[in-house]
Structure 1
Amino acid sequence: MSAAVPPPGSARPVLIIGTERSGSNLLRLMLDAHPAIAVPHPPHLMRYLAPLAASYGDLGVAANRTRLARDALRIVRAHLHPWPHPVDLARVVRESDASTFGVVAAIYEQYREAEDKPRWGCKSTFMVDHIDEVLRRYPDARFVWLVRDPLDVAASAKRAVFGPSMPYRMARLWLREQRCADAALARHGPAVVYLLRYEDLVTEPEGALNELCSFLGEPMHAGMLHHHLTSGARRIGALAESWRRAAQPVGADRIGAHRTGLTAAERRQVAAVAAPLARRLGYDHGSDADAAPEEVAPSMVAMALRSAGLRTVIEVRSLCRDRNYTRRLRRDATVRSLRLTAWARTRVPMELPQLRTR
């Protein structure tokens, strides 16, 4: 099946890449406040479906693509931040190409159309692993590499329901994903991948947004500076503690949050893992970054116990404070169900001949 032709005006999607807890919710709301860009809260479709792609078979076959699209819409319906617009399954199958991202793109295209905007955006930072797939379908796509001090990322993740709560593990994830984004920048150049530091965005938002809009080929819109006044910001800010700041004005008070959010040992661990890429990105952690990662790495037992302790505290706090706690459980159950079904699809055909001989 030949690749579908993106509808006029939607051939330049905007994708935020990097690592969670880097200010991507803030940037999403700022971009969504632009009259030309629609950026829904992401159900992370590629993160969940790309590893299962082989289980659907040849996506050039409409029945297989329908099964994939139906599962993608199950995730959208179970999303912990519900979308305001329905998505038509038949249209997704008809308008997608024979790839997992083709199905995802067709879903986002319908959202863009419902919002009556010419471009769509995706805030799923996990798309850092799928840049080349995006560019195959949308050669004019633009990527915003949002980077934040890894110490502050780890401090934020330590209290958040999303991502590894253990700072050492978060540091390793930060390093892997920044390396992916850095490689994409080297491969495709600054006309395709734009490096934006969280610290610049919150200390000089107008200047940072002006430069970002220039990269995107869009005029700066004043509403981007008042994202917190939108209904979308108020809605997400009320859903979960991890998103509460989304409904507040831009502020630089979270720069340096690691000073109170991490212990001295955790700062050394994160700094050692993140260096030297952190230094090249403008983050100087002084003597904390001088140790080799293996010198400060906690034992597997210590990591498991610390992670379990942090996760328990996070879940109890989320149960008490987050309005979408049950939706998160539902989303996680949906993803586990899809993984189990995918495993069964790939396993059963190999076992059937043995079953028939018994």
Structure 2
Amino acid sequence: MLSSHPRLAVPPETRFLVPVYYKRRTFGDMRIAERRRALAEYIAGDRSTKFRELGIDKDDYIRQVVEGPGSLGSVIGTTFKMYSDRFGKPRWGDKRPSYVKQVDMLTRLFPDAQFIHLIRDGRDCVASLKEMPWYTLNSFHAISTWAEAIDAGKRLRRTMSEDSYYELRYEDLTDDPSTELKKLCHFLEEDYDPAMCSPREAASHAVPVHKVWHSNTHGEVTRARVGSWAKRLDSWEIRLAEQALGDRLEDHGYELSGAPKAAKEHMLKFQKTMQKRRGARMRKLMRDRINRLREQGPVPALLTSGQLALAGLPQQRAESELPQRVM
């Protein structure tokens, strides 16, 4: 839907932003051109990065990075800028469900970013995760994933400004796309375009063909999957999801089915899963805090007028040529 807007470009999931951030000390000081070249070659050449799905020329990307600003965010952001340039659009973004738990990291890279959190019924999310060919964890992890995302969103609502963080519900978006997209465009400070309600044309380049689990994006907006958890989840999963997520579901307007309480062993296993995941996050956070003390170069991107202003730097090009904000 966002990619159907004449000024917005959101590429397929790239899967390199987070790994690059956590490996930043390996690549060294981005103020050094050869260090930028090494990172650009990794992003463009490693099979795990999905760079090839962006339709960007590898050599041109490396050249622009070497000639561009010397910061980690600039090297990463250049990929998205070049993608948006393919379609003549001034604003770009990126999407991954896990980003809701990584906003601090993303804000370090793109200090002028705006964040959109699309929330869906947790039971439907669990059902969908179970069916994904790439998902290898169990239902306890799937339920934990939704709980973590909702808790992260609650913290973001409390700590971020109204012009930086926005929430909307999947069910509302599919029920009345034009109304919800008009409100979303107001948040983005962009004019609403009716083409956003017919995203199937943009899906041809924004959703790779091999991602068959996103096949619905190639058709009309549909509500066919809303509430489908009732048929897609086993009874014990429904009981566990509603007991574990009940308050969170109701806080976001989702009604509970009245299913009996979950079995004690299921609830205990869920709680242990949550604790284990929380411990892993805390250890990763502590490692990153230590790495921040040893960073070898600047992190924030210097590609938009907003980023340059926040860094206290002069405009490098005419303001009309620079995107105002990252989405």
Per the shorter chain, which TM-score range? 0.7 to 0.9
Residue 82 (structure 1) aligns with: 53
Write the distance in 1 (CA, Å) between the matches of 2:254 and 2:45.
Answer: 40
Determine whether 1:276 maps to 2:241.
Answer: no
Q: Residue 268 of structure 1: CA displacement? A: 1.9
What stretches of structure 2 of length at least 5 have no aligned partner? 272-327
Q: Is the 8 A contact 1:185 1:192 kept in 2?
A: no
Q: Residues of 2 paired with 1:272 and 1:264: CA distance?
A: 12
Give the match's secondary structure for 1:210: helix
Summarize the alignment of residues 1-358 of structure 1 with structure 2, pairs less than 5 Å apart: 30-75=1-46, 79=50, 82-87=53-58, 88-99=61-72, 101-136=73-108, 138-228=110-200, 230=201, 232-233=203-204, 236=207, 238-288=209-259, 296-298=267-269
* Other structure's SS at 1:220 match: coil
Q: Deviations over 1:45-73 (max 9, x none)?
A: 22332332333234444333332222112
Does the 8 Å CA contact 1:237/1:245 hold for their aligned counterparts?
no
Root-mean-square deviation over aligned CA pairs:
3.0
Deviates more, 1:280-289 or 1:184-193: 280-289
Give CA-to-partner distance per residue, 1:70-104, whole Å, 9 cap, x none: 211224786297222324112124324433x3322
Q: Secondary structure at the match of 2:117?
A: strand
SS at match of 2:54: coil
Report the secondary structure of 2:255's partner residue: coil
How far residue 235 of structure 1 moved from its aligned partner, in angstroms, is 7.8
Report if aligned partners of 1:164, 1:170 keep a CA contact under 8 Å in 2. Answer: no
CA distance in 2, matches of 1:211, 1:202: 14
User: 1:345 corresponds to which residue?
Assistant: none
Alignment partners' CA distance in 2, 1:146 and 1:131: 14
1:211, distance to aligned residue in structure 2 (A): 0.8
Q: TM-score scaled by structure 2?
A: 0.73
**Would the alpha carbon gap of residues 292 and 213 (structure 1) be closer, same or farther in structure 2, given more than 3 Å must change?**
farther
CA distance in 2, matches of 1:58, 1:80: 22
Cα 1:148–1:128 change in 2 (3 A) is: same
**Preserved contact between residue 158 and residue 167 of structure 1 (Cα < 8 Å):** yes
3-state SS, counterpart of residue 232 of structure 1: helix
SS for the counterpart of 1:239 is coil
1:246: how far off?
1.0
Partners of 1:205 and 1:298 in 2: CA distance: 39
Confirm or deny: 8 A CA contact 1:272 1:293 kept in the other structure: no
How far apart in 2 are the matches of 1:212 and 1:32?
13
Determine helix, strand or coil for the equivalent of 2:195: helix
SS at match of 1:144: strand
2:45 aligned counterpart, secondary structure: helix
CA contact (8 A) 2:44 2:51 kept: no
Matches of 2:5 and 2:51 in 1, distance apart? 24
Shift of 1:151: 0.4
Q: Normalising by structure 1, what TM-score?
A: 0.67
Identical aligned residues as a percent: 24
Aligned-residue offset at 1:204: 0.9
| CA distance, structure 1, for counterparts of residue 118 and residue 264 of structure 2 | 24
Q: Is the contact between residue 206 and residue 225 of structure 1 (CA under 8 Å) also seen in structure 2?
A: yes
| Change in 2 beyond 3 A, CA 1:49/1:138 | closer
CA separation of 1:209 and 1:275: change in aligned 2, threshold 3 A: same
Residues 44 and 235 (structure 1), Cα distance of their counterparts in 2 relative to 1, 3 Å cut: closer
- Kept after mapping to 2: 8 A contact 1:272/1:292: no
In the alignment, is the contact (CA less than 8 A) between 1:43 and 1:75 conserved in 2? no
Aligned length: 270
